[in-house]
Amino acid sequence: MKIHHLRNATFVIESGTHFILIDPMLSEKGTLPPFAYFRHKCRRNPIVSLPDNAHEIIGKATHCIITHSQKLGIELLTHTDHFDPPGRDFLRKNNIPVACRQQDSSYMKKKGINVQTAVNYWQTEQFLDGEITAIPALHGHSWMHTFMANGVGFFISLPNEPSIYISGDTVFTNDVERALTEFKPDIAVVAAGSASLDLGGPILMPLEEIITFIRTAPNKVIANHLEALNHCPTTRSQLKQELEKYGLLSKTFIPNDGETITIDVN
C-alpha cells in the first residue's frame, strides 16, 4: 500500500489497481475565504498550492472517501477543506464512486455525486474487496462540535493490505480510543493541525491530545491537516519537536505535500 499525501486532509491510498481519494480539497491557493479572522492570521485558503504531482495522482482516482462535508445542507456551511467545489466537480465529471457517512448521503446525491456506500456510526459495509467501518468523530469540545457538525472517521480493511484508520476531523474521544485499541490499525491517520475558530475551543485535537493519540495507536501514525489552512496553527516543525520530547517521532510520519509513504503488511 502507498499513501500519497497531497495537502491538508487530501491524500490517495494506492492499493493494487485501486486509487482511493480521501477528502478532496482541490481549490487553487487563496480561492477560499479565511476560516478565522482574528484568532489566527487572516489569510485566504488554502494557504499553499497543491504539489506539482497532485493532478497526476488525483487523475488515477478510482474511488473516493469523504469523512464529512456539510451542515444542514446549507452551501455556506460546507466543510470546503474536505469537499470543495473543484473536488465536487472532479467527482461528478468522472463519476467516481464515493463512500461517506449516512448523514451526508442525500446532500452528496443532490450535488450529483455517485454515492455507492453510506455508513452509520460503528456500521461496517463492504468496500472494494474488503470492509469499511464508520467511527464517530467529534469536531470540537463543548458546544463547538454542535456548531461544526460532526463527521466520521473510517477504518478500512482490504485483503493482503495494511489496515488503516482515518480519524477525520475530531478531538480525542472514547470512540477514537476504541478504534485504536479494538481495531488495532496498521496505520492511523490523525488530523494534527490543532484548528480553532475565532470563538470557542479547539475543533481538532490540541497537541496534548495528538500525543495521546500517537501513544495509544498500536502501530505507525501519519499526521496530516498541517500548514494548509489559516486556522490550523500547528506546524510540522512544532509537531516534530513535541514528538521528539515524548520519544514518539520514530513512530510518526509527518509527510510533506506531494510525498509518498509505502506501508508494508506487518
Give dist(CA 98, CA 68) in Å, integer.
12
Q: Is the pLDDT of residue 1 over 90?
A: yes
Tell me the pLDDT band of 145, cut-offs 50, 70 and 90: low
* Digit-coded pLDDT (tens) for 234-250: 999 999 999 999 999 99
Report pTM. 0.95
Report the phi/psi class of residue 16: left, alpha or beta, with left for phi > 0 and alpha for psi in -120 to 50. Answer: left
Rounded mean pLDDT of the chain? 92
Rounded to the nearest 10°, the torsion over CA 80, 31, 24, 84 is: 40
Q: Quick one: pLDDT at residue 82?
A: 86
Give the chain's domain count. Answer: 1
Whether 51 shows a pLDDT value over 80: the answer reads yes
Residue 197's CATH number: 3.60.15.10
Distance CA 56, CA 70 (A): 28
Q: What pLDDT, in 10s, does the model give residues 71-128?
A: 655 555 567 888 999 999 999 999 999 999 998 999 899 999 999 999 999 999 999 9
Here the cell at position 85 is 467545489
Share of the chain above pLDDT 70, in %: 93
Residue 227: what pLDDT?
Answer: 97
Q: Which range marks the domain in which residue 31 is found?
A: 2-262
Give the tens place of pLDDT for each residue, 175-214: 999 999 999 999 999 999 998 877 778 889 999 999 999 9
